[in-house]
Structure 1
Amino acid sequence: MISTVKNISLFSILDILVVAFIFYKGYMLMKETRGIQLLKGIVLIFALIPISQLLNLTVLNWILNKTITIGVLTIVIIFQPEIRRALEHLGRTAFVDKHIFEDEEIMEKVITEIVNAVEILSKSRTGALIVIEQKTGIGEIIKTGTELDSVISAALLENIFVVNTPLHDGATVIRNDRIIAAGCFLPLSNNDVISKKLGTRHRAAIGITETSDALTIIVSEETGTISLAMNGRLIRNYDKDKLKKILVQIIKRRQNKKTTLKGRIKSWIKPENNNL
């Protein structure tokens, strides 16, 4: 009997921890998005129900209770972007994904070509948007542009972004050691926290990293500033050496990331540093 009580207690504790963890992860995914404001509104509705009962506000209480009755459907509709983002995040971390680069020498060469092109584009203040696909496939993005399937070279990347050429206005997508497509359209981020000083190019760069694990390099047309977007965050003011170093670190870390159950659980509990 005592053993049963202990088992029940342990399972109850585990149950509470799991639920708390789910709520925590949900909060972190919605943090700094419009969803957190909606969540506050829902909490307020729940808080007003007992208050309306206590003050005998019959009409208000009836409205609030009816709101809660259809609450599940309402939450799914309101939080659709956040729910989708959460499921995509879970899918990226829960299963074994493809390898990005099989050979470190090829990876170094690819990154060198990219940063050389970015440096020249920055000096000439030519706007550029380069997406490096990682373990999450972005085939739907590739289909919006012109498929190339070309060998990566700094010269080709420079030519793609020459102003008034057919492919310059859009994103170029890189997969492994190939330029897969150019002139691609990216989803714009709806994050209200993003600085109003940043234009559509930067908002698009952040948008694709909110729905995938892709890395996006941006060159500002106005200032020539080099930025890197990852996991919905944007870090600015990179130079050639700093950009190459961080790209190598990120790709190597993801390439060598454990895919065992223990490794996956660890990645859920302690996700990659969004601040790079």
Structure 2
Amino acid sequence: PAAEVIALYSGFEEGEVDSISYISLDEHLGRLTARDLRQLETNVPLETLKIVVDLAVEIGREGREGKPVGTLFVVGDSRKVMAKSQPLAFDPVKGYSRKERNLRDNRVKEAIKEIALLDGAFVVASDGTVEAACRHLNGTTEMVTLSKGLGTRHWAAAGITKETKSIAIAVSESNGTVRIFQNGEVMLRIEPFRRPMKWKDFEYEQPATEKE
């Protein structure tokens, strides 16, 4: 069962306990706020980041054909990312129109889940268009420090974001954890959950006051 927390706090008048909250940690940790993503200070639109993060979380949670899947998305600064990467093999998205490669289309997202079984990274433009798939990233790992146990995919994510203005979103094959990288560092971490992730638009809503 999920851990549960009851919190008593001062919500209206300082020094007086006047509010109570019930928090299910399983539910709470399965949500991100727009504020969480805004801390990245990137030119990539928030909506694009949400779409890619949602897709990464789905891949981490569901896998494919009953097997765990790890993959990597590099979003934004796509020209420089392409210049600092090379194809590992045949690119499955090559030859399709930009509309047919845009992650705002659910059919495209389902196709990307299949391609995620292959090695290499996805390069995604700021508008959500997948510029390329199955890319080997050539970013530097000098002056990059990561936690022990993170593999090649995470080092590649750190390296490419160190050299470009991109945001990298890595899915761990071993446990489905999603990590968001910027400037060579892990900025956010999302643990896998059984249920789809929920976006929270606000942190607090003041209750309505009674009319006299």
Q: Give the strand-richer structure, 1 or 2.
A: 2
Q: Deviations over 1:171-206 (max 9, x none)?
A: 000012310001111125134632331110000000
TM-score under structure 2 normalisation?
0.54
Q: SS of the counterpart of 1:185?
A: strand
Alignment-mate amino acid for residue 164 of structure 2:
S
Please state which structure has a larger fraction of its residues in helix: 1
Name structure 2 gaps, 5 residues minimum. 1-42, 192-196, 202-212
2:136 to 152, 160, 185: 185
Does the 8 A contact of 1:100 with 1:135 survive in 2?
A: no
1:113-262 to 2 correspondences below 5 Å: 113-123=51-61, 124=63, 125-134=68-77, 137-141=80-84, 143-144=86-87, 146=91, 148=94, 149=98, 150-152=101-103, 153-162=108-117, 168-175=118-125, 176-187=127-138, 189-191=141-143, 193-238=145-190, 240-241=197-198
Distance 1:156 1:111, change over 3 A: farther
Q: Closer, same or farther in 2 for the Cα pair 1:157/1:113, shift >3 Å? A: farther
Alpha-carbon distance between aligned partners in 2 of 1:132 and 1:159, rounded to the nearest angstrom: 19
Corresponding pairs, count? 135
Q: Which has the higher contact order (CA 8 A, sep 6+)?
A: 2
Percent of residue pairs identical: 25
Alignment-derived partner of residue 53 in structure 1: none
- For 1:192 and 1:231, the matched residues in 2 are separated by 9
Alignment of structure 1 residues 68-87 onto 2, 5 Å: none
In the TM superposition, what whole-angstrom CA distance separates every residue of 1:137-157 from its partner, at most 9, and x where no partner exists?
A: 323145435363522232122
**Residue-by-residue CA offset, 1:12-55 (whole Å, 9 max, x unaligned):** xxxxxxxxxxxxxxxxxxxxxxxxxxxxxxxxxxxxxxxxxxxx
Unaligned runs of 5+ in 1: 1-98, 102-106, 163-167, 246-276
In our comparison, the structure showing a higher alpha carbon Rg is 1
8 Å CA contact retained: 2:74, 2:122: yes
> Does the Cα contact within 8 Å between 1:113 and 1:154 map onto a contact in 2?
no
8 Å Cα contact 1:142-1:180 kept in structure 2:
no
For residue 136 of structure 1, report the CA deviation from its aligned partner: 6.6
How far has the Cα of 1:208 moved from its partner?
A: 0.1
Q: 1:190 to 1:196 in 2, by over 3 A?
A: farther
